[in-house]
């Protein structure tokens, strides 16, 4: 279970899974922070999502935690249409050894046309002629002969291999960044939790001292009252 501090307070944002029985069937509820109302002083609400297996619930919470760390909210992880689209894509990728959806998405994004970047549909470039240097051409020609393909097919293969490596590198960079952010979030949560507990302990100690002083003053006043009665 991950605890994350709420900005500006010592309140912890928790992500956890709880088992439930519904009509005799075992389900698992993923519990995570809800949306925070703007300009509201009320505590952030909670949300739940039901799963038929604990691993599925924990996988969902892992994505929700990463999204909350980076954006301060959980939105993409609860998008039903996105979830179905993701599951269909996973089925298509199942037969590709080592295939990753994020790598494929980066590859497609890096191959966008100028019209797609502006928000339109794909437009194939009219001029696709590229002039290679003499040595670079000979490398492609010799390798193409060895593999039994054309020079154009060899160049396409080289570009796609570079594209896949570049996309994989971007995914690795993202994973390393998120790992550092998650570690820092856990450290901040631990510090906030320690400070919150220390403040509560200090308050309890001050209240205990105040009660003790009040009892001493009451006992002293009682003794002084008894002496006055004796006199």
The Cα–Cα gap between 34 and 220 comes to: 54
The tokens for 199 are 């403040």
Band (167; pLDDT cuts 50, 70, 90): very high
Question: Which pLDDT does position 9 carry in this prediction?
Answer: 40
List, for residues 52-95, the tens digit of each pLDDT value.
888 888 888 887 877 776 666 676 655 666 666 766 777 777 77
Quote the DSSP letter at residue 42. Answer: S
- Answer yes or no: pTM beyond 0.95: no
Report the DSSP beta bridge partners of residue 115.
none
List, for residues 203-220, the tens digit of each pLDDT value.
777 788 888 888 878 877
Per-residue burial over 154-181, b = 16 or more CB atoms within 10 Å of its CB, e = otherwise: bbeeeeeeebeeebbebeeeeeeeeeee
Closest listed residue to residue 48, CA positions, set 10, 86, 24, 22: 22
Please determine, for residue 44, whether its predicted confidence score (pLDDT) is greater than 60.
yes
């Amino acid at each position: 279970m991950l605890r994350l501090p709420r900005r500006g307070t010592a309140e912890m944002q928790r992500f956890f899974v709880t088992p439930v029985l519904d009509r005799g069937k075992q389900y698992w509820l993923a519990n995570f922070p809800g949306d925070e109302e703007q300009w509201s002083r009320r505590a952030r609400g909670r949300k739940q999502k039901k799963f038929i297996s604990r691993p599925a619930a924990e996988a969902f919470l892992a994505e929700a935690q990463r999204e909350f760390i980076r954006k301060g909210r959980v939105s993409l992880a609860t998008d039903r249409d996105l979830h179905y689209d993701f599951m269909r894509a996973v089925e298509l990728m199942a037969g590709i050894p080592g295939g990753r959806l994020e790598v494929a998405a980066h590859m497609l994004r890096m191959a966008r046309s100028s019209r797609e970047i502006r928000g339109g549909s794909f437009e194939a470039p009219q001029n696709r002629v590229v002039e290679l240097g003499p040595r670079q051409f000979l490398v492609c020609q010799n390798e193409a002969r060895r593999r039994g393909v054309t020079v154009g097919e060899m160049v396409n293969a080289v570009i796609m291999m570079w594209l896949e490596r570049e996309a994989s590198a971007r995914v690795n960079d993202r994973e390393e960044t998120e790992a550092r952010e998650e570690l820092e979030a856990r450290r901040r949560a631990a510090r906030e939790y320690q400070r919150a507990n220390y403040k509560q302990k200090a308050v309890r100690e001050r209240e205990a001292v105040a009660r003790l002083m009040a009892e001493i003053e009451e006992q002293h006043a009682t003794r002084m009252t008894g002496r006055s009665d004796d006199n």
